[in-house]
Each structure stands twice: as structure tokens, then as C-alpha cells.
Amino acid sequence: MAIGKNIIIAGFSGTGKSQVAREVAERLNWKFIDTDDEVVKCAGKSIDAIFREEGEAGFRELERRVVKEASLQSQSVIALGGGAILDRQNYDSLARNGIIVCLEAKVETIYRRLFQRDVHDTGNEVRPLLDGDNPMERIGLLKASRQFAYANSADWTIHTDSLSINEVADEIIRSRSLINRRGSPGEDGNNSCWVETLSRSYPVFVGGGLLDELGVSMREIGLSGTSVVISDENIFSFYGNRVKAVLEDAGFKVVSFVVSPGEMSKSLEQARSIYDFLIGQHIERSDTIVAMGGGVVGDLAGFVAATFLRGISLVQVPTSLLAMVDASIGGKVGVNHPRGKNLIGSFYQPNMVLADYQTLSTLPPREMTSGWAEVIKYGLIADKTLFEFLQANAVAMKLNSAVLARVIGRSAAIKADIVSEDEKEKGKRILLNYGHTIAHGLEAATQYEQFLHGEAVSIGMVGAASISQKMGFLSSDVARSQKRLLEQFGLPVKFSAIDVNDVLDAMNRDKKARRKSVQWVLLRDIGSPIVCDEVTEQTVRYVLQELRES
């Protein structure tokens, strides 16, 4: 498993390697390493002096040592000297623990950047091989001799001629997730993905038995010190000792705080008692909260991590299907207020999410079924292939762990992509609300007691599809196949014994609180959502009546 893989920036001098690497490191909050700088530090003299006194061979020898050292790091952005990647040994050690991005530029561009630039624009002056007459020709020759090696070693090449440093950095951040994902899901059992938000970039690991790698994984992304495991009684009774042992084996000191299961624990009072505990344990900013549990534990422990000492490290270890595919990814943390759910909270991204689907074996069946609603939602709003895969595997899903891993991995990746594009719910993230407008109404109208969240979402999606149909966006066939799939997974598609007016009232209260018109997420087809704010109350009432079992 490649955790906290490095990003290696290779290419000719003058392609902007160091500046770009520094920028990418800053954005990801990773370490920045420039191998030329390290060589200078190591030798105690300039690169020119090394070349003069020890020749190119002496330089390469030092460089090899520095590269080896750098390649053992994690979460580092490494700018390589222009010739470093040509060395087989360097390439092997770097490629094993990182992705290699090669920056390209035309000879003219390189010439301009190296020899005609503004005197203030310093950088490392590492061009002993280009000294002499007719630099343009020398660049051309040297570059030609290296071109094959650059092209061959790169996972990704970026042509930088017309790009600013910032634009190249953008490109690298984008390409990284593509490279990481390329070819991996399914075939080698890797169903993991990355979340890349402005505030933090982090891996989401999905796999069987990953709980046993929790400690090592946390070390690999640079965490150390004390782990505070926050969990609920149910989950802790199953996995508490195991996780404690795993963390201790990896060198962490471990303390734990266990709350009662259920939504009632998501309160400011509970958060306060955790603060008291953390202070009593002398927890510092360098320590880590490990939130092991369902959505309740993740929200509560995440909220504490976000606020204690203005924020300490957070690792999400979701154990419910809902938390694995939804709540643990994207950084929404918070607690309830007596006047409403999730009224107090923040966006606070974890350092890592680790989902071991084997923990689902102890999840109560009704909770598992509820989680499927969110998985099906991802198919509906973003991925027709996932939807069809769910149709084809509805029966096998409960038995076959490889299938389970793929589906959870894919769902997590969809959520990761959406929150990466829209960390704070200003745009695309609204699509995640498909089925949720009615669901929230149903939940609130029944004081959050009758439905599990996914059950309400299931009914809400049937309603949203019906509205989509009435507005002329969706065919009845597609609406029917959505309903069928929900039923196949054992989810409710209707409600009973609730007054439609109560549901509408609850929805209107919600709308008032937001002070703007309701943005309905509707469907045009499987995988093709649209946002619409022109749904009339009359239509909603009609659809709710339709959903109500007579």
C-alpha cells in the first residue's frame, strides 16, 4: 500500500522544478526537498566547486546518497537535479515510493529562463554542464541526450512553456489523483483514493483487514505521540482492544474515551467531557484523535479534534457503511443543539481515513441496509456504471467481500472527488443532497426516531425521482428501476402513519432556517443530476401523498 507517496519533480534545468515543488509542498502541507540544495549542504560547498574539485562522478555519488535519503521520506515533494533521474539506482528508489512528474520545456524557453532572466530571479545556479560558448546549442544537445530517460521515467509530463509556476502546481495536484487511481481499483485490491481540498489533502484507504495496519499507516503519514481513541460502547467492545494493540505496536501511547451509542452523544456536553479528559491526559497539538465508529462518533470526535487547542490531528476509522462512504470523508464535523441537528459544527478535514470493511460484519443489519441508500445515491448522481453494478450484484453484495470493497471504494472516491472540488458546499457538493430534502422532512417530522438516515433518504429519492418525472426531466422507466434497486437492497420506498402536513411543515421550517428557496436535486437520467429551484409546494405535496401508504 502506498501511503503518503512522495511527489518527485524531474526535468531539465530551467523548467521550474524547485519553485513548482516548493509551491506544491506548501499547498499540500508536505515537506519540500531540493536534492541540489541537499548536495550543497552535504558537501559544504557549491555545486560548481564540487564539479571543479571532484568532477561529475563525485557530484553524482553525493547526489545518489541524497536521493536515497529523500526517497525514504513520505509526504514530500522532491525537486531533482536535472540529471538525477538518469541514474537507474535513483530511479528505482524514487519510483518505489512516489510518483514522478517530469516538467518539459522547449530549448528556447529553457534558454530564455536560464540565460536571459531578470537578475533578481535567483534560483539554484546549477548548470556546470551548460557552461561555455553557444549555450542554446549545448542545451539542445544535453536535453536531447536525456529526453528518452525523462520520457521513460515520468508517470506524467507537463509542458511548462506557457504556464506560470502556479499553473504547473495546479496541474500536478490534479494529475496526482489521476495517477494514483490509474488502473488501481479492483485489479490489485486497491480501492483507496485521495481527497484534495484547499485546507488539506489526505488518503482514504478502503480494504479488508486494514485495522491491523492503522498504526503503521498513521506513522507513515507522519503522526506520532499519543493516540486518543474515541468510540462508542458497541464498537469499542468489538474492536477496542485490537486497535489499542495495533497502535501500541506502532509506538503510540494510547488512551481511549468511550461514549454511549446513539445520536444523544452528539452534544456539547459530551464534547465538553471529552475536552476535560484531553486536558487531564495532557494531550498536545502533536497528538492525534482516532475516531473509531459510525457517523455519530466521527462527527463528535471530529468536532473535538477541530476545536481542541484550535485543532489537533484527526484520523477517521469509520465502522458503519454510512460512515465509510459518506460521513468520514469531507470534513463535516459537529454536534447537535437541543433546537436542531448539526447546528454547531465546522469543516475540518482529517489527516487520513481508514475503512476496514471487515468491521461491517458486526454492524446491525438494519444499519447496513440504511448505508446502502447512500451507495445507491452515488450511482444515481454520479456513476451509471456503479448503479448497473449494484443491479447486477444486489444479491452477492452481502456475501462477497471483493465486491463490497469495490463498491465502498468507488463510493468513497465519488464523495472524495465531489468534496475535493467543493470543500465548503458552495457548488457541486449540493448534489450529495439528492433525496435529502424529503428525507430531512421525514426525519424531523418523526423526531429522528422512526427512520434511520438511509431509510429516510431512500424514500426521499423515490420522491425526488417522482418530482423529476413530473417536471418532465426523467422517464418513468428510470424512476422505476431506481425504486426496484432500493427495494432489492431492502430499503423502504414509502412511509406510513405520518401526516403529510407534518412533513411539509418540517420541510418549510428547514427552508425558513436557510432563508432561501429550496434547491432540489433532481435526475435527468441515472448518473445525470440537475439542480432546480422551481418545484412548487403543490408538486411536493402531491408526491408526498403518493409516497404515503394509504
Catalytic annotation, residues:
310, 332, 374, 415, 425, 429, 433, 436, 440, 453
The yes or no reply on residue 297 touching ligand ADP (CB under 6 A) is yes
* DSSP state letters, 190-235: ---EEEE-SS-EEEEEEETTGGGGHHHHHHHTT--SEEEEEEEHHH
Q: Which CB atom, from 81 or from 371, has the smaller least distance to ligand ADP?
A: 371
Comparing CB distances to ligand ADP, the nearer of 32 and 238 is 238
Which candidate, 2, 305, 297, places its Cα nearest to that of 179?
Answer: 2
Tell whether residue 374 is a contact of ligand ADP (CB under 6 A): no
Rounded to a whole number of angstroms, the minimum distance from the CB of residue 374 to ligand ADP is 9
Q: Contact 349/312 with Cβ under 8 angstroms?
A: no
Q: Which residues contact 304 (CB under 8 A, 6 or more apart)?
A: 230, 271, 274, 275, 278, 289
> Toward ligand ADP, which CB reaches closer, 234 or 466?
234
What x/- string results for residues 213 through 252 when contact with ligand ADP is judged by CB under 6 A?
-------------------x-xx--x--------------
Position 147 contacts ligand ADP (CB under 6 A): no
Site map (CB under 6 A) of ligand ADP, residues 462-501, x = contact: ----------------------------------------
- Given a contact cutoff of 8 angstroms between Cβ atoms, the answer to whether 211 and 250 are in contact is no
Contact in structure between 90 and 84 (CB atoms under 8 Å): yes
User: Which amino acid appears at position 235 of this protein?
Assistant: I
Instruction: Using alpha carbons, select from 49, 97, 53 the residue that is nearest to residue 77.
Output: 97
Rounded to a whole number of angstroms, the minimum distance from the CB of residue 326 to ligand ADP is 8
- Do 381 and 524 form a contact (C-beta atoms < 8 A)? no
Q: How many CB atoms lie within 10 A of CB 207?
A: 21
Question: Taking CB under 6 A as the rule, which mask of x and - marks residues 307-326 in contact with ligand ADP?
Answer: ------------xx-xx---
Query: Which of 14/295 has CB closer to ligand ADP?
Result: 295
Residue number, 238 or 389, with CB nearest to ligand ADP: 238
The binding track of 342-361 with respect to ligand ADP, each residue x by CB under 6 A or -, is -----------------x--
Size of the site for ligand ADP (CB under 6 A): 21
Greatest C-alpha distance within the chain = 92
What angle is formed at CA 474 by the lines to CA 469 and CA 480, rounded to 5 degrees?
80
Q: Give the footprint of ligand ADP on residues 254-293 (CB under 6 A).
A: 261-262, 293
Beta-bridge mates of residue 293: 318
Q: Which is nearer to ligand ADP, 227 or 319 (CB)?
A: 319
In order, the DSSP letters of 447-473 are TTTS--HHHHHHHHHHHHHHHHHHTTS
* Interface ranges with ligand ADP (CB under 6 A): 232, 234-235, 238, 261-262, 293-297, 319-320, 322-323, 327, 359, 362-364, 367
